[in-house]
């Protein structure tokens, strides 16, 4: 069975969606460890509920970013994961870190990249009067939120959407999208190689796959 490590820093609702899919035998993976860069976050409790080993590497206890990353690298190597899954991990990782794990780090971002890299994506989508908004799973490269896109899921923006309603609607998409992409990886349908993405051995579309999730199931 292939192994993942999930890196979190907060609520861990994506982590829970992944652990639930594993528990229900919908996702043939082992989650070897959950690492949080913040102590006492809800995500750690969620991991414990699923009997997944947890580790806190508190970024605030390191004066130097390099030392924080070295501790992280060591903690990850200890469990030799096939993939490193970022799920609300709110630290920017250096190119040195990323080079330790080529083609192995994936992230979920709450916007339809390349739109709205960085923070406050929901507020910015409303301000830009977008018709669509959503979430993206991508390969992590040194440029923030700019790695090759694997897949996206979208919703139609409502007139009365606020950053809060969008956050919860987009999270509902994320909770389906991330396990789906991980399932492709686990089954060997999706391959990450030399910074590019192959699906059943063929290059995927440049913008990744647009997954149409049943909008009825997305609370609005
Ligand atoms: C999600 O919106 C994800 O896209 C972003 O951080 C948030 C994490 O939420 N990277 P959670 O901790 O999984 O609930």
Going from the Cα of 85 to the center of ligand 1, the distance in angstroms, rounded, reads 12
Across all residues in the chain, what is the average pLDDT? 96
pLDDT at 90 over 70: yes
Going from the Cα of 21 to the center of ligand 1, the distance in angstroms, rounded, reads 17
Q: Per-residue pLDDT tens for 159-176?
A: 999 999 999 999 999 999
How much is the pLDDT for 179? 98
Q: Is 77 marked active-site?
A: no
- pTM to 2 decimal places: 0.96
pLDDT at 30 over 60: yes
pLDDT at 12 over 50: yes
Task: Say yes or no: CB of residue 186 within 6 Å of ligand 1.
Answer: no
Task: Name the helix (H) or strand (E) containing 97.
Answer: helix 95-100
CB-CB contact of 108 with 121 (8 Å) = no
Least confident of 16-30, 62-76, 114-128, 204-218: 204-218
**Could you identify the atom of ligand 1 that is nearest to the CA of residue 8?**
12
Q: What's the mean pLDDT in 147-168?
A: 98
How much is the pLDDT for 217? 42
Could you count the other beta carbons within 10 Å of the beta carbon of residue 10? 17
Task: Name the helix (H) or strand (E) containing 31.
Answer: strand 29-36
Q: Among candidates 59, 66, 12, which has minimal Cα distance to 38? A: 59
Q: Among candidates 140, 80, 130, which has minimal Cα distance to 109? A: 140
């Amino acid at each position: 069975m292939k192994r993942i490590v999930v890196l979190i820093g907060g609520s861990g609702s994506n982590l829970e969606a992944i652990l639930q899919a594993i528990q229900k035998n919908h996702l043939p993976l082992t989650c070897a460890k959950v690492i949080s860069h913040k102590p006492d976050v809800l995500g750690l409790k969620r991991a414990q509920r699923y009997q997944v080993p947890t580790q806190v590497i508190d970024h605030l206890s390191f004066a130097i970013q390099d030392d924080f990353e070295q501790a992280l690298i060591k903690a990850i190597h200890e469990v030799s994961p096939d993939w490193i899954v970022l799920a609300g991990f709110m630290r920017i990782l250096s190119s040195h870190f990323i080079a330790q794990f080529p083609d192995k780090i994936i992230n979920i971002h709450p916007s339809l990249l390349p739109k709205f890299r960085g923070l406050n994506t929901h507020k910015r989508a409303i301000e830009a009067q977008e018709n669509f908004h959503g979430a993206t799973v991508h390969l992590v490269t040194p440029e923030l939120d700019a790695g090759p896109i694997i897949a996206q899921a979208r919703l139609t923006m409502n007139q009365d959407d606020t950053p809060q309603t969008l956050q919860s609607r987009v999270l509902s998409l994320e909770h389906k999208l991330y396990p789906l992409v991980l399932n492709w990886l686990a089954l060997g349908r999706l391959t990450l190689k030399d910074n590019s993405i192959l699906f059943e051995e063929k290059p995927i579309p440049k913008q990744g796959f647009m997954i149409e999730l049943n909008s009825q199931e997305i609370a609005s």
